[in-house]
Amino acid sequence: MSQQAPQKNLSAADIRARKGTAPLVCLTAYTTPVAQLADPHCDLVLVGDSVGMVLHGLPSTLDVTMEMMILHGRAATRGASRALVVVDMPFASYEESPAQAFRNAARLMAETGAGAVKLEGGRHMAETIRFLTDRGIPVMAHIGLTPQAVNAIGGYKVQGRGADADRIRADARAVEEAGAFAVVLEKVPAALADTITAEVDIPTVGIGASAGCDGQILVIDDMLGLFDAFKPKFVKRYAHLATDADRAIATYAKEVRARTFPAPEHIFADEGAAK
Ligand code: KIV
């Protein structure tokens, strides 16, 4: 009797090995059904701390907690059987010390079943990335625009313009040397993203960066047109689900008010006829 081996999710090492081959397809997901939708098409599913803004109505990612990431991480891993699931480390869960970062990263991995964590920061986080990777925790780095630093940066601005490009290049090299298996480049000029992609041996995953990156990531609610509070300029809408949902709910409300909504007795009558 032949038994099929259960399908295994891609590992951080698999993603790392994709450098210079087929582009990596990455999306966020925070729930089981959405992870199930993304999984067949994606190499990597990120349980981003964008969940705070997209699902919880928070004004930024700064109020996202470990408990929120664990809850959503657990839900997303249930829906992904193929893609690598990466969980974001929330603000203030890793910056204090490598030991604090290890404690929280280990908890995120153990309690969600995810295959890796992501954290924001370049050179100043290199020691922490090294500490985690040396202890068996795969780390995806995130440089360029780092939304958890929005107050220090003074807004969600493009990073690495002009002379500032060298800072971002140094960040990319630092996280690579520290052992990150991939690096997100957010909101940096395309030429800079292309330079970094050529300079580092780990995959670059762009968001508002360049089509030349080794992969791309988007917040799924943005690309499906579900999150309408604001739209970053770089987001392409592949669907307009909020508009569709509004139309569907308006139709339902109209039918309820007009008493044309199918009443249970009609449904039960049909069931009787079918017997
Ligand atoms: O939190 C998030 O969704 C992210 C992606 C936008 C890269 O960090």
Going along the chain from its start, the domains and CATH numbers come out as: 12-239 (3.20.20.60), 241-275 (no CATH)
Q: How many CA atoms lie less than 13 Å away from 103 in the CB half-sphere?
A: 10
Instruction: Please report the beta strands in 31-83, taking only residues with DSSP state E, as ranges in sequence order.
Output: 44-47
**How is residue 1 annotated by DSSP?**
-
Give residue 270's pLDDT.
60
Mean pLDDT by 10 residues, the chain (275 residues): 74 97 98 98 98 96 98 98 98 98 98 98 98 98 98 95 97 98 98 98 98 98 90 92 96 94 68 55
pLDDT computed for residue 267 by the predictor: 66
133: exposed, middle or buried (Cβ count in 10 Å: 0-12, 13-18, 19+)? middle
pLDDT confidence of residue 263: 65
Task: Name the CA dihedral angle for 106, 153, 201, 15, rounded to a multiple of 10 degrees.
Answer: 40
Q: Enter the tokens of residue 249.
A: 């709910």
Residue 102 contacts residue 139 (beta carbons within 8 Å): no
Looking at residue 264, its pLDDT comes to 66
Supply the pLDDT for residue 265.
67
Catalytic residue among 120, 127, 177, 186: 186
Predicted pLDDT at 262 = 74
Say what the pLDDT of residue 231 is: 84
Q: Is the CB of 28 under 6 A from ligand 1?
A: yes
176 part of the active site: no
pLDDT of residue 7: 76
pLDDT at 131: 98
For residue 26, the model assigns a pLDDT of: 98
For ligand 1, atom 2, name the residue with the nearest CA. Answer: 48
Whether 48 lines ligand 1, by a CB cut-off of 6 Å, is yes
How far apart (Å, rounded) are the C-alpha atoms in residues 58 and 116?
A: 25
- The pLDDT value recorded for residue 261 is 80
88 in contact with ligand 1, CB cutoff 6 A: yes
